[in-house]
Structure 1
Amino acid sequence: MSEKAEFLKSVDVSRETLERLEGFQQLLIKWNGAINLVSPHTIRQIWSRHFLDSAQIFDLSEGGSGLWMDIGSGGGFPGLIVAILAAEKRPDLSVMLVESDRRKAAFLTTVAMKLGLKVTVKVDRIEALPPANCDILSARALAPLSDLLGYAARHLAKDGICLFPKGIRWRDELAEAAKNWSFSHEQFPSLTDKDAVILKMKEPVHV
């Protein structure tokens, strides 16, 4: 079974959403040689390593509307995948992508425009932005959990949630974060890495 078929087996999408995903794939391959959006050795695994890995984060979110803030968006994971899925499944959801690298931000803006996505791209460092009061905050491969919770405490709405995919050392990161932060959390096994989880976190408070 092809990677795309495996993705479609796990994620139910319309023909229009599939066409947007295929368009994103083409743009990612086109731009990657120039600005290294994703590691070259994963470019042949786009549908599993990047698309499915991001789609599973969307599936753990809550509600139908509000603001989803993705920080350190890079090549668009999970933020652009969230926006593509939301266009079909949660059309009232707004997506904000935060990326300080101007070339990567230009890529994100181009993809959003060409695919007709409801996306705002902020070209800045996350700590420099005014509080966003977002309902969902996500970050993939950006920073240690302790740092992510600091960003969440600044930008998350009172009842908002964080969705952070973490690798094999996720237990160590949780223990380290608990030294300085109070929070509630659940962990969900990753569909793409047996040693990884997605941490769903709420109410981060520095202690």
Structure 2
Amino acid sequence: MIVSRETHERLIAYEALVRKWNARINLVAPSTLPEFNSRHIQDSIQIFDHVKLSEGNWVDLGSGGGLPGIVVSIYAQKAPLTVSLVESDQRKSAFLRTVIRELSLQNVSILTDRIENVPPLTANFISARALAPLSVLLPMVRRHMHQDGTAMFLKGRSWKAECDEARKEWRFDVTSFPSKTDPDAAILKITGVSHA
């Protein structure tokens, strides 16, 4: 994906902040820092191959160090989209506030609370990365996603088993796309979530 110079500069600045803070707060596994761009930035960017940014609100659940939520915000600076980062850890929220301030991100806010305590957000888009199994994520999606919304989950090698397990309690439509950054991983695009 071709990005503007401004977007590219913000992504570089974001990586620098993660590297600076990671020694004090475990934002990403230290072993992944040498490949931060390919392991984290590019992994997050690829969701844009499968969703068209449109007007509305994007909610990133369990944002942690801002992946993919901060990346979504950087990409959506000129889109009519608001981004909400839900993160219960006070220190990680402090990091996210620093990123927003230093990168001058205009479209993003932080909700420092547990996902289940946040009032329903009626999100047009929901994302999560390395947060929880699908069977745990779907109740969160049901609570926070608009009925016509789309959830985008970056999942590891056990994604098929997670889908099978989740179908015991939930009905949902899922389209899987192979990950560009990990041959065993997938991006799951989920709609139509309801109790089975």
Q: TM-score, with normalisation over the residues of structure 1?
A: 0.92
Give 2:131's aligned residue: 142
Alignment of 1:1-207 (within 5 A): 11-88=1-78, 91-117=79-105, 118-207=107-196
CA RMSD of aligned residues (A): 0.9
Shift of 1:62: 3.0
Q: Matches of 2:49 and 2:11 in 1, distance apart?
A: 16
Tell me if the contact between 2:87 and 2:113 (Cα under 8 Å) persists in the aligned partners.
Answer: yes
Per residue, is there more helix in 1 or in 2?
1
Shift of 1:87: 1.3
User: Deviation digits for residues 140-174 of structure 1, max 9, x if unmatched?
Assistant: 00001011111000110010000011111111000
Q: Matches of 1:36 and 1:63 in 2, distance apart?
A: 30
Q: Matches of 2:112 and 2:135 in 1, distance apart?
A: 23
Q: Matches of 1:166 and 1:47 in 2, distance apart?
A: 18
SS in 1 for 2:24: helix
Tell me if the contact between 1:160 and 1:202 (Cα under 8 Å) persists in the aligned partners.
Answer: yes
Instruction: Please tell me the residue identity of whatever aligns with 2:131.
Output: L
Instruction: State the aligned residue count.
Output: 195
Give 1:5's aligned residue: none
SS in 1 for 2:176: strand
Shift of 1:59: 2.9
Q: Matches of 2:122 and 2:52 in 1, distance apart?
A: 16
Tell me if the contact between 1:162 and 1:200 (Cα under 8 Å) persists in the aligned partners.
Answer: yes
Instruction: Please tell me the residue identity of whatever aligns with 1:86.
Output: A
* Structure 1 alignment gaps of length 5 or more: 1-10
Instruction: Please tell me the residue identity of whatever aligns with 1:121.
Output: I
Identity fraction in percent: 51
Q: Matches of 1:63 and 1:205 in 2, distance apart?
A: 24
* Structure 2 alignment gaps of length 5 or more: none
Tell me if the contact between 1:61 and 1:136 (Cα under 8 Å) persists in the aligned partners.
Answer: no
